[in-house]
Amino acid sequence: MTFLRLLFRNRLAAMGAVVLVAILILVLITPLLPLQNPDTTATADRFQKPFSDGHLLGTDHLGRDLLSRLLHGTRLSLAVGIAAAVIAATIGSAIGIVAGYFGGRIDNVIMRVVDMLMAFPYILLALAIVAALGPGLMNALIAVAAVNVPFFARNIRGITVGLAGREFIDAARLAGMGHTRIILTELLPNVLPVIIIAMSTTVGWMILETAGLSFLGLGSQPPQADLGSMLGEARSALISHPHTSVVPGIMIFLIVMSINLLGDGVRDALDPRLRSGALSRPLPTTLVDRQGDIPAATDDLLAIQNLQTQFHVGKRIYRAVGGVSLAVKPGECLGVIGESGSGKSVTALSVMGLVASPPGVITGGAVRFQGHDLIGARYETLRQKRGDRVAYIFQDPLSTLHPLYRVGRQLAEAIQSHHKVSSAEARTRAISLLKDVRIPNAESRVDNYPHEMSGGMRQRVGIAMALANEPDVIIADEPTTALDVTVQAQILSLLYDLRRDRGLAIIFITHDFGVVAQLCDRVAVMYAGRIVEEGPTDAVLEAPAHPYTKRLIACVPELGGGRRALAAIPGLPPVVDDLPPGCAFAPRCAKVQDACRTQEVTLAGAAPRAVRCLFPEEAL
Ligand code: ADP
Ligand code: MG
């Protein structure tokens, strides 16, 4: 159903669908309509104009009723075109799947044959086939289907090759499935959308080709009418009696246009990447629609002040960040901790306007870098600071590095997009950056592709890239979550040194209190888009005030800590489009009281400690 909704949101596709359905209905009921026999000639009534007595669209050179011929002809043309498309898609896809799935010699032989077919000009090949088989509508159908088989075979083979090496196919093999079963149950469902898309975008073309063959007299034979032969017969009267060619011409135009518009719509609606974004590309910066006062400037290096970021999806409003304030000074490391989904990434991305809009909207607060508000700043201003003054390190370096460029080239690009330096200089700088992040053999590693490096090394390249322009602030969003513990320790000590040596301010996002304890001076605990506790790391670790913080700390295993039950927090974080009134943690809190569920709870305490709880574990 979402498919149909998406499809009809595309106006052109909807228009195409309406026209096509109208034509289809018309040709389906043609035999029931009170029409004259399309083949009855009446030489006395030759070339009647449209709207003449008894002939709504006039007559042709043999006095046959054009309306009747048009509807019967359309019926035939559509049937042949669609049949050809189905045949070509079935045979072509089967060939493509077999070639792509089995690979090796089978693939080679099949594909070379397909290549040979493709080497002939399209129409010439069709003409040759019809010439060999003899003229006739059935043979035209075979010819059109045959010349389109290679197109499907190539397309589907490409997709299949990509899928055949994937883990779920290996898993199916391991489960003992046979080839046929794997092809039918694992591969086919994955390539089916592609087949449908390829078909919907080529049906129109095949109808045209059939019409073309009929136009040349190789398709439907007189007196049988299809759109192509109608055009062909009207050719000689094109100037004297244009209506005889205009009528079938308009019909061909309508059919092909509507099928193509609909086909494009189907393609877009079936593409899962376009689906979530509802066919819209994100804006270059996050949409800003601020309500309320804008907080005044402070003397922090980077200050996030009462930031509110929401996602507007349909009628739903997800309050991913509900008034978060954080600040860092030069050389300081601030930890931001919370369960998955608590709004850490959205907070971080809001700083540089990187939250995708739509659906993201910043609805309140400010983000000040050296006192200047970045929210609602011009795109150029943001772009200048992105990666230069404020840099990011993301969780998964494999998805942030471009797979097709060498890492040195990507580092150089990061430098050259902000500074005018020669390529040689940028390369030298890239090598020294790799050395800074302690990549051994930096001189040769600089020419590696991302896939030639280990996960830890790639993450170091990510850090090197963040350092490329000597930023003032680095926002690290779970940079060690994808790494094993030993590599994590190396990365953390690297960040620690950089901070000490260069006076870097770091906002370090994680869900692991152990990491915070190693690296951060201060920590802020987030829950459901809000800060529930903050303070110096030691103080928070020693005496957590919020029940949530206490439970989070209890989740960290301790070496040599003796036998202790690791306590998971029961329940799940709330969905942020429907937060409970009062404390968001109340439903999972062991100490919950009635007041927690009704009363708005504020962040209170003696700076730098603060807690958002009515009944804190420790008095601050
Ligand atoms: P995390 O703390 O794990 O980094 P995020 O900041 O990524 O969490 O997400 C915070 C909340 O925002 C989550 O509840 C998530 O469901 C919601 N969210 C994130 N992106 C979108 C989006 N594009 N549309 C709707 N909700 C979103
Ligand atoms: Mg995240």
pLDDT, tens only, 429-472: 999 999 988 888 999 999 999 999 988 889 889 989 998 998 99
Task: Answer yes or no: do 270 and 312 share one domain.
Answer: no
Asked if 19 and 132 sit in the same domain, the reply is yes
Q: DSSP letter string over 443-468? A: HHHTT--GGGS-HHHHHHHHHHHHHT
CB 226 within 8 A of CB 144: no
Mean pLDDT of 207-214: 90
281, pLDDT greater than 80: no
| Parent domain of 468 | 302-527
The answer to whether position 129 is within a domain reads yes
> What is the distance between the alpha carbons of residues 139 and 232, in angstroms, rounded to a whole number?
18
- Same domain, residue pair 339 and 261: no
Residues 320/529, Cβ–Cβ less than 8 Å: yes
Between 255 and 557, whose confidence is greater?
Answer: 255
CA of 387 from ligand 1 middle (Å) equals: 23
- Asked if residue 102 is part of any domain, the answer here is yes
Query: What spacing in Å lies between the alpha carbon of 394 and ligand 2's midpoint?
Result: 9
Span from the CA of 357 to the centroid of ligand 1 (angstroms): 13
Closest ligand (CA of 340): 1
Percent of the chain beyond pLDDT 70? Answer: 96
Q: Is residue 424 one of the residues assigned to a domain?
A: yes
Residue 530 and residue 612: Cα distance in Å, rounded? 9
What CATH number does residue 170 fall under?
1.10.3720.10
The mean pLDDT of 540-568, rounded to a whole number, is 79
Percent of the chain with pLDDT over 90: 43
Alpha helices per DSSP H over 51-136:
66-102, 104-119, 122-133
For 281, residues 6+ apart whose C-beta sits below 8 A from its C-beta are: none
Mean residue pLDDT across the chain: 88
Residue 447 forms part of a structural domain: yes
More confident residue, 69 or 376: 69
The number of angstroms, rounded, from the C-alpha of 589 to the middle of its chain's C-alpha atoms is 38
Residue 314 and residue 267 share a domain: no
Q: Are residues 257 and 386 in the same domain?
A: no
pLDDT at 1: 66
- Comparing 20-24, 482-486, 562-566, which segment has the lowest mean pLDDT? 562-566
Q: What is the mean pLDDT of residues 493-500?
A: 87
User: Would you place residue 301 in the very low, low, confident or very high pLDDT band (cuts 50, 70, 90)?
Assistant: very high
pLDDT for 61 beyond 60: yes
Q: Distance from the CA of 392 to the center of ligand 1, in angstroms?
A: 18
One domain, residues 350 and 420: yes
Same domain, 325 and 438: yes
384 found inside a domain = yes
**Both 349 and 447 in a single domain?**
yes
Q: Are 303 and 326 in contact (CB under 8 A)?
A: yes
Domain C-terminal end among 496, 527, 558:
527
The single-letter code of the amino acid at 526 is: M
Around ligand 1, the residues with Cβ closer than 6 Å are 311, 313, 318, 320, 338, 340-346, 359, 576
Ligand 1 atom having least distance to the Cα of 577? 14
Per mean pLDDT, which of 180-189, 259-268, 377-386, 554-563 is the most reliable?
A: 180-189
Say yes or no: 260 and 314 in one domain: no
Q: Which atom from ligand 1 is nearest to the alpha carbon of 346? A: 6
Question: Which tens digit of pLDDT belongs to each residue from 103-132?
Answer: 899 999 999 999 998 898 888 889 999 989
Confidence of residue 588 (pLDDT cuts 50, 70, 90): confident
Neighbours of 427 (CB within 10 A): 18
pLDDT value, residue 561: 62
Write the pLDDT tens digit of every residue in 505-536: 999 999 888 889 888 999 999 999 999 999 99
Among all ligands shown, which has an atom nearest to the Cα of 314? Answer: 1
pLDDT of residue 560: 67
Angle made by CA atoms 92, 94, 97, in degrees to the nearest 5: 105
Ligand 1: which atom is nearest the Cα of residue 344?
A: 2
Same domain, 360 and 451: yes
Asked whether the whole model's pTM tops 0.75, one would answer: no
CA of 369 to the centre of ligand 1 (A): 24
pLDDT the model gives residue 274: 63
pLDDT at 97: 94
pLDDT of residue 123: 84
Q: How confident is the model at residue 53 (pLDDT cuts 50, 70, 90)?
A: confident
The residue that leads in pLDDT, 572 or 503, is 503
Best residue for ligand 1 mutational test, from 273, 276, 311, 340 (most atoms within 8 Å of Cβ) = 311
Mutual angle of helices 66-102 and 11-28, in 10-degree steps = 120
Mean pLDDT calculated for residue range 474-496: 85
Q: What pLDDT is stored for residue 296 in this prediction?
A: 85
Residue 600 has pLDDT above 80, yes or no: yes
Report how many domains make up the chain.
2
Do 171 and 251 reside in the same domain of the chain? yes
Which of 309, 531, 576 gets mutated to test ligand 1 (max ligand atoms within 8 A of its CB)? 576
pLDDT per residue as tens digits for the range 322-340: 889 999 999 999 999 998 8
**For residue 596, pLDDT beyond 70:** yes
**Lowest model confidence (mean pLDDT) among 30-34, 40-44, 176-180, 547-551:** 40-44
Q: Is 145 a member of any domain?
A: yes
Task: Identify whether 548 is part of a domain.
Answer: no
Per-residue pLDDT for 278 more than 60?
no
CA of 139 from ligand 2 middle (Å) equals: 60
- Express each pLDDT in 359-396 by its tens digit: 889 999 999 999 889 888 888 888 888 888 999 998 87
- Mean pLDDT, residues 259-269 taken together: 86
Burial class (CB in 10 A: 0-12, 13-18, 19+), 328: buried
For the ranges 128-142, 508-522, 576-590, the lowest mean pLDDT is seen at 576-590
CA distance 66 to 47: 10
Smallest-distance ligand from the CA of 349: 1
Question: Residue 115 C-alpha to ligand 2 middle, in angstroms?
Answer: 47
Over residues 89-97, the mean pLDDT reads 95
* Residue 325 within any structural domain of the chain: yes
Residue nearest to atom 22 of ligand 1 (CA): 311
Q: Whose CA is nearest to atom 4 of ligand 1?
A: 345
pLDDT at position 272: 64
How far is residue 208 from each of residues 147, 227, 496, measured CA to CA in Å? 13, 9, 68
- pLDDT for the residue numbered 520: 92
Ligand 2 centroid–CA 340 distance in Å is: 6
Position 151 scores a pLDDT of: 92
Nearest partner of 369 among 488, 487, 223, 471, judged by Cα: 471
Give the CATH number of the domain where residue 405 resides. 3.40.50.300
What is the model's pLDDT at position 276?
53
Which atom number of ligand 1 is nearest to the Cα of residue 576? Answer: 14
Q: Which of 473, 496, 527 lies at the terminal end of a domain, its last residue?
A: 527
Residue 235 has pLDDT above 90, yes or no: no
Say yes or no: 398 and 507 in one domain. yes
